[in-house]
A = this chain, B = another copy of it.
């Protein structure tokens, strides 16, 4: 197989990301979002909001990271952030998926993409921290815009969202301040349960 054929095989395989349905709805509540929709949104947010990163980030690297960050869900599935049981086996399922999917690429790109995904998962670099901030902020914005549709379906509480967002300030204090103010409003109007 030529280098280009390997790349095309990977590109066709990851088309399956469009079939992985997330828990949150689109802003208009019409349907749940798919993982490719979500990844597109994060990449665009990265292009527009990088000025708010706590540390200077490499925008191209961060955009590429968010484009591939959920590819492992093709095999591992989407694990709902507030499902405790599923989150216990998540890491193992996702590592097996990364081993299979990235290796469809030519070796140099397989290593590059795997390194980027590992970096995202570790959450230590400026790029990984900002990517995680966007990955929390985007579904929050959609949930709030849809009147908390997915939160209501799952009975999600303010303190659960707080816990889920522990990492959000590490990537951007400014975006976290915005989100925190908006979260309090969501609890006030009853979209989030405030115990």
Interface residue? A98 (CB, 8 A): no
B39 touches A15 (CB 8 A): no
Q: Please tell me how many copies of the chain the complex holds.
A: 2
Q: Give the CA-CA distance A59 to B4 in the complex, in Å.
A: 18
Q: Which of A12, A36, A145, A178 has the most CB of B within 10 A?
A: A36
Size range of the interface on A?
35 or more
Interface residue? A47 (CB, 8 A): yes
Q: Which of A14, A39, A40, A174 has the most CB of B within 10 A?
A: A40
Interface residue? A141 (CB, 8 A): yes
Given A4-B175, A19-B28; 10 other pairs, CB 8 A cutoff: A4-B174, A7-B49, A11-B44, A12-B27, A12-B141, A15-B26, A36-B41, A39-B40, A63-B63, A63-B64
